[in-house]
Each structure stands twice: as C-alpha cells, then as structure tokens.
C-alpha cells in the first residue's frame, strides 16, 4: 500500500521541440489519484490536463475524471468514465460505452501513472507476458478508444510495455517497489 498521501512527479521528455519542458504532479492516497500534467504537445501546443482516478483494493479502476484546462484556468473540456471492474464502461450521463467492452484498465496519455494498473492488478512472474485490453485516453484531445497492449516482466523492477496497435512501439519501464514508473525511456523521467 502507498503511504498516505504520496506525491510523485515526472518530467515529460517526449516533445521533439520542447524536451523536458513540463511536469506531472500526482498525489496518491489509498484508492485515489489526483494528477496535473503541464506540458507542450508538438501538435496541439501547451496544455494542462487534470485527472482524478479511483479504484478498488484489487487495483480495478472504478472512476476517471479528466479536464483540459484553458489558458484562463477553467475546464475547457471534461470527460468522465466509470467502470464496474468487469469490463463494462459508462460515460458521464451513465450511457454504456460498448467500444470499451472488456477493457479492465485505463491508459491515459500523457501520464506514466496508468501503467501501474496492469502491473499492480496482475502480478507477473519474471519472464511472463500478458495481454491487456485498455481504455486508451488521449488526454490532449479527451478522446477514448480500446487498445491492446502487453506487459512482460523482465526482472524484479523492469517491465517491457508493448503497444499492440500495429505501431511496433515497445519500451522497457523501470518501476519502484510500488509498481510506479521511475523511468519510461524517451517519454517520462521521475524527479
């Protein structure tokens, strides 16, 4: 379990035109996360993304609230998702989201925190590989779609992440004793 509260920060380093410009500040308490990402996207420009997540003791997501914050400091766009932990999702009006059927975890771009959900929820033996169907959220546009991913445990504190969307993207993630990303090569570095 995390000590309550726990503060974690990452520096983004994905932007070709603005490497290491920005920060994510995440406050964790038991079953809850409150995060703010301030960065520059090469396509969309500067942005602030605020997100709140809640999950059960087995690390099954229950609720996700996301807001893109305008230059004036107000929520320009928002998204709310809820799930029952069995792969059934609804939006902020309670309407079913059939495209996300079977997704158990969420993966929010741009934060490395959501990589912790499959790592914490499904303990893997060293060398074991598992595929996951994720609710993938583009936090710079506030869209969501299903995405297949895989994790392979390489050793005690390293996991190979694979996007199974046809891009061929892989990354070897270093995590701490709590399953939180320390280094996501080319994308995020914890400070």
How far apart CA 103 and CA 89 sit, in angstroms, is 8
Q: Answer yes or no: is 168 within a domain.
A: yes
Closest CA to 40 of 22, 26, 13: 22
Q: Answer yes or no: is 1 within a domain.
A: no
For 78-105, what is each residue's pLDDT tens digit? 999 999 999 999 999 999 999 999 999 9
- Answer whether residue 70 shows pLDDT above 90: no
The pLDDT assigned to 72 comes to: 62
Is the Cβ–Cβ distance between 151 and 119 less than 8 Å? yes
pTM of the full structure: 0.93
Q: Answer yes or no: is 58 within a domain.
A: yes
Residues of the domain holding 166: 6-190
Is the Cβ–Cβ distance between 115 and 107 less than 8 Å? yes
- Answer whether residue 77 shows pLDDT above 80: yes
- Answer whether residue 128 shows pLDDT above 60: yes
Q: Answer yes or no: is 35 within a domain.
A: yes
For 22-60, what is each residue's pLDDT tens digit? 999 999 999 999 999 999 888 888 899 999 999 999 999
Pairing label, strands 6-12, 89-90: unpaired
Q: Answer yes or no: is 41 within a domain.
A: yes
Q: Answer yes or no: is 72 within a domain.
A: yes
Number of domains in the chain: 1
Phi, psi (rounded to 5 degrees) for 124: -110, 145
Q: Answer yes or no: is 56 within a domain.
A: yes
């Amino acid at each position: 379990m995390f000590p309550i509260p726990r503060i974690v920060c990452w520096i983004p380093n994905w932007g070709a035109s603005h490497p290491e410009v920005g920060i994510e500040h995440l406050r964790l308490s038991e079953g809850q996360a409150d995060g703010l990402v301030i960065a520059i996207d090469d396509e969309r420009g500067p942005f602030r993304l605020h997100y709140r997540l809640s999950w059960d003791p087995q690390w099954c997501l229950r609720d996700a609230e996301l807001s893109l914050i305008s230059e004036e400091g107000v929520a320009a766009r928002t998204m709310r998702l809820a799930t029952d932990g069995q792969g059934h999702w609804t939006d902020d009006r309670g309407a079913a989201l059939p495209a996300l059927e079977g997704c158990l975890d969420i993966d929010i771009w741009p934060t490395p925190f959501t990589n912790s959900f499959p790592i914490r929820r499904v303990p893997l033996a060293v060398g074991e590989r598992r595929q996951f169907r994720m609710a993938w959220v583009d936090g710079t546009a506030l869209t969501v779609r299903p995405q297949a991913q895989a994790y392979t445990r390489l050793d005690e504190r390293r996991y190979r992440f694979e996007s199974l969307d046809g891009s061929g993207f892989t990354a070897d993630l270093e995590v701490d004793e709590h399953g939180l990303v320390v280094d996501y090569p080319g994308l995020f570095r914890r400070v």
